[in-house]
Structures are given as structure tokens and as C-alpha cells.
Structure 1
């Protein structure tokens, strides 16, 4: 056996006591322990960088678009969510603008107390107020969208308010004797 063969044999003998995984890990740099965590960290880092570069105008546009999509989703939905009513979305709209209720009320020429009544579902807003919202939003939030929110709530009340039905029975003197 020549010198080269003997050296090769000695190396093979030394390496044979190690598992192939151990040999591979000693040669190849190990990857992250959990690939999903490192990907999440990269995404998080990217989002932070992206967010830091956004202007206040960009943020406002994003918030308003998100709000508009939420309103459209509520309008399209067959189910009614009691928490997502006209007043809720009006409050969110004002919040996106980073305004106080009083300041916003001045901008749309309505008494702050009346605005509070709309937000807290104590009073339905008149059509003129809905038109003012459309104008204030530069038609980004059309009056018909706000109106559909109000109608969605009225529809729900009409369908499920059994107290009104019970109180109105006494006012009906005669009714059809058939069902179709």
C-alpha cells in the first residue's frame, strides 16, 4: 500500500466513528433553528422599515381605505353585527382624521351634542347630515353608503323587534284569515 492509500484509510477510519449528519453539520453552516420564526422576523423587519417611510398622508389613505372596506363588508353581509352600526363607523371616521368630535362637528356645521346623539345611536342622522359626510370626505364615502348602513340597522330592528309587534297588535282590527 502506498503512502497516499494509507493516509486515506486513516482518514476513513477516523471519520467512520461520526454519523453523516454530524459530518455534514461540521462542514455546512447551520440554518436557523426554526425557519418560520426567521421568516416572520424578516417580514416584521420589512414592515417596520416600510412603515417608517410612510408619510402621514399615506397612513391616512390606508386607514380610510380600511374603514371604507369594512363599511362595504357590513353592507354586503347577510348577517347584522349590532356593534357595527352607523355611529360606530362615524366615530371611526372621525378617529382616522385625528379630530375631536367638537372640531369635526364644526367642520360639518352640526351641534356637537347632536353629533354625539348620532354616534351613540340616540338619534338617526337626517339626510342633510349624510350629504355633509359625503362632501366632507370628498365623495370618498358616498352618502348612499352611509344611508345603507342606517337602513341595515333599521331592517334588523324591523325584523327582530318583537316588542313593537306586540304593541301594534291592538291597533289592527281585522286581518287576513289566510296565509299565502
Structure 2
């Protein structure tokens, strides 16, 4: 089973101060949203705490650890290796922190891209990463309000904002983000 203090010790060493503080914000926000949407707050808290545990790894470390985890590395990941930090984070959570709960591991794994048919915990960690208290981008307050009122609408808005941001930067959009958005728009909503 997981031990929160051991995880905090690990991430404090492996993350920048700003990223560590962001992680604590995601942990707290995930827990609040879990209470709101009837998900186990302890699971949300741990998933939020672990979500960025691989965030500060180098591109080569992310690729090599993703390969060790058994992940198939597509050309999108070679072009944008930081997308792998969720996959590698889930691997670390399982191997180092001994977390075997698939919902927690999937929430960590997909917090960057989203995916079709996300569990409520996956949605919570994804959106908590966007709206935790230290986030201050244009539209974040609207997104926060949506997140506490309609999780799926908040996700759709977040996916759309992310897609537009990635297009503006001329970067590659991960297909899972598009599929996640389309899945919700096609009426596959849980709440």
C-alpha cells in the first residue's frame, strides 16, 4: 500500500520547488473534487500527489523508462517526450510506491492527454492539474467553476483550450486528447 510521506519525500527530491507546490495543489484539489463527485478522496489524494512524479525527468530518461515499463513509444512521444511523464509516473507509482490500484495508476498515466471513457478519478486528476490554486491562465476561473458544477463540461473546455494552445504553438496533438473530447461530445457522459 502507499505511504503518503514516503511519496512526498521522493517528489520533493525529484521536483523543482514550484512543481512540488503545484503537486500539493493538485493533491488538495483532487481530494476536494473527489468529495464533490463521490470518489474515494484518499485515492484522489494519492493520484494527485503522484501525477507529476516524473515531470522533471530528461527526455532520454522518460523514453528509456517508458520502454522499460513496456509502453510502445510512438513517433508522437519521440517528438514530444514530456507527454511520457504521465506514463512514467504511473510506472514509478507502481514500482517504487507499490500502488497497484489500476484507477489510481490510470489517473496518473492519462492526466496529460486524457483518453476515451475516462473514469471519474481520471477526470478529477486531469482537471485538478489544470485548476489547482496556483494556476493563473486566462479562463482558469471559469474552468474552476465548471469543474465543481459539471466535470464533463469542464473537461471538454479544457481539452479544447489545450488543443487550441498546441495548434498555436505548432506542436503535435496527441490523438488521445482528440478522442477524449469527441467521446464526451458524442454524449458519453457519466455525470
The normalised TM-score by structure 2 is 0.32
Of structures 1 and 2, the larger Rg is shown by: 1
The normalised TM-score by structure 1 is 0.33
Higher RCO (Cα < 8 Å, 6 or more apart) = 2
